[in-house]
A and B are shown apart, each in its own frame.
Chain A
Amino acid sequence: MWVGIFCEITEFALLFAVFFVARAHHPEAFRAGPDQLSLLAGTGYTLMLLTSGWCVARALHAMRRSDRTACLRWMLAGFVFGLGYPAIKIFELQRNFALGLDGDAGVFIVSYYYLTFTHLVHVFWGLLGMLWVIARTGFGAYTAEEHSGLEAFACYWHVTDMIWLMIFPLFYLLG
């Protein structure tokens, strides 16, 4: 589990390094960049992912006390909040393209798409993993003593959440 998580961390560490170098070379573009993006959408992603992570953490605790029904409910809630991320992404992309913020809109927007689309791919893997874990929980595959699959998924989802907590201020706040 941790090998996969460290691969994810390494991938984003490299992308963050590229971001910092690009920002150092184009300070004006990056200073003006956040004003082009929707802070409401950025905050919305953050709240959706944090709330989804909270539900998954509660699901894990429910399983530890053998409450499978509560675990399933928390996981389903986590999935619904997790879906909020791609849902907001659709609205934000429509807004961005309407404003002409596409791949030709300069170094800030290109960096933004690189990092956020890579993160979106990780969120998709997480949502698919969550469906799998929900199904396994529903079929009674986990117990209070043995729920390593649920734990592994929770770790992945929280790290994906952490990565977003780093991406969000870089693009939406640092003007």
Chain B
Amino acid sequence: MSSERRIDLAWLMLVLLSVGGAGIGSTDGNAVLVAVGVSVVMAIKLRLVCSYFLELHEAHPRIRRAVMTFCHGMPVLVILTTAFGDTLSRLTGALIG
């Protein structure tokens, strides 16, 4: 498969995930489960952009690691701050009064 064809397929996947992901968000379910669903879709989309659009595999390993940490960190933080919002509120309460 040509590199152009792979980019086209990645874009198609991204469009489908964006529309499908919007459907996940509009469901009335357990907040943590919705956060997990939304985060998984977010992680897949970020991975597709990094791999096929940004071509991160060609970047310096340190740059690649830093960007991937940011991309993987966000979905994880979404889940953790949804599941443990009370704890985060207590921990940061002293900072913001």
Q: Residues of B contacting A175 with CB < 8 Å?
A: 25, 28, 31, 34
User: Could you tell me the distance in whole angstroms from the C-beta of A75 to the nearest C-beta in chain B?
Assistant: 14
Q: Residues of A contacting B14 with CB < 8 Å?
A: 50, 54
The verdict on A76 contacting chain B, using a C-beta distance below 8 Å, is no
Secondary structure at chain A's binding surface: helix, strand, loop or mixed?
helix
Residues of B whose CB lies within 8 Å of any CB of A are: 3-4, 7-8, 10-11, 14-15, 18-19, 21-22, 24-26, 28, 31, 34-35, 38-39, 41-42, 45-46, 49-50, 52-54, 59, 63, 66-67, 70-71, 74, 77-78, 81-82, 85-86, 88-89, 92-93, 96
Q: Are A61 and B3 in contact (CB under 8 A)?
A: yes
User: Could you tell me the distance in whole angstroms from the C-beta of B30 to the nearest C-beta in chain A?
Assistant: 11
Known: A47-B15, A159-B54, A165-B45. A57 touches B7 (CB 8 A): yes
Known: A34-B25, A47-B18, A54-B11. A27 touches B54 (CB 8 A): no
